Structure 1
Amino acid sequence: MNFLAHAYLSFGDPKVLVGNFIGDFVRGDIENTYDKDIVAGIKLHWNIDKFTDSHPVVKEAQAILRPEYGRYSMVITDMYFDYFLARYWKNYHHIPLDQFAEDVYNTIDEYGDTLPEKFLQTFGYMKYYNWLAGYGELDGIRRAMTGMAKRATFNSKMETAHVFLDEHHEYLKVHFGDFFEDMVAFSKKTLAELRNT
């Protein structure tokens, strides 16, 4: 999953949100570096990624991408799922997406002094270009994918992924809906377990 989903799956807890956002940027002795609730968010992020990568519905969605995008199909699927979450946000959350995104940015800013430098660089771009709210439009996906294509080691073709999304919208939307229901239930259960350890 991508940043919007990780924010949503923090369930309104600021420290869990911070941990969930920096999960890809930290390794090592997190217990002695971060507050226990931030640690829970980091571990939740790792669990979400594992659950996503092994889910059969996600693998089905990736299967139609693989002939065109190869190894990048996993990254693209993550972006597509954030697109569907943003596009149909009203089905999932009572706070408007623009307000939710602003609340997320403000929360992360409050913890800026303790966060990894590499994450803060990414976060600067995220906030400036308002990635969280922009994911729900094809043009937002186009911009994000084009940016990632420029940083990719190989020819990823990610700059065309917004066209593929438009052409396969309904198929991918069904897959997102089937998967995300499982993802929410898994994340709630996992977070409860992490808080009790």
Structure 2
Amino acid sequence: MAPRTSVRPQMSVDEFEELARHAPEMVRLEFMNGKVQVKPVPDGSHGEIVMWLLEQCMHQRPDLRLYPERGLKVDSYRKGRARPDGSLAPRENFVGQGEWAEPTEVLMAVEVTSHDTDTDTDTDTNRRDRIDKRDGYAAADISVYLLVDRDAPSLTVHAEPEKGEYRSVTTRPFGAVVELPDPVGITLETEKLKDYAE
């Protein structure tokens, strides 16, 4: 992985959190690599993938919950703020935490790529899901980052975070059996995801 370049943040984390608090309800803001990013509103297939994954997690690991859109403090280098499509953590993990929670007990972060029609937005989506968030979750020492890539269509499992990078990366096509390593310990039979790859 290429070293991070030193980029001056657009604003402080406190300024971002104030901005996010006053954003309209339909606008979901994140702060990654020193930049404010607008997370696209998910379409129906995106939502079905998240629900499918939530059901798989609850069935195989009833001691855990996949929390959708939970604000996390990530990326110690830039003091980032992310809203993963799913954060797998012990039940009641976020009780008493504010809008932006510490990721200490989060075992897995999940992102499902969005389909964008604008070429510039495609580049933004590519960088956000495949680079910025991957790096942020690794820096926050989240054990597993699962990227459900509807464009490929595939699942990429990032594991073994060390010094801000994932040392293990495995990609499998929709339809394959995908093993989510410990501490997650879930097996996904992904044939159903073919229905949602549009």
* TM-score under structure 2 length normalisation: 0.29
More strand by share: 2
Bigger relative contact order, structure 1 or 2, given CA contacts below 8 A and separation 6+? 1
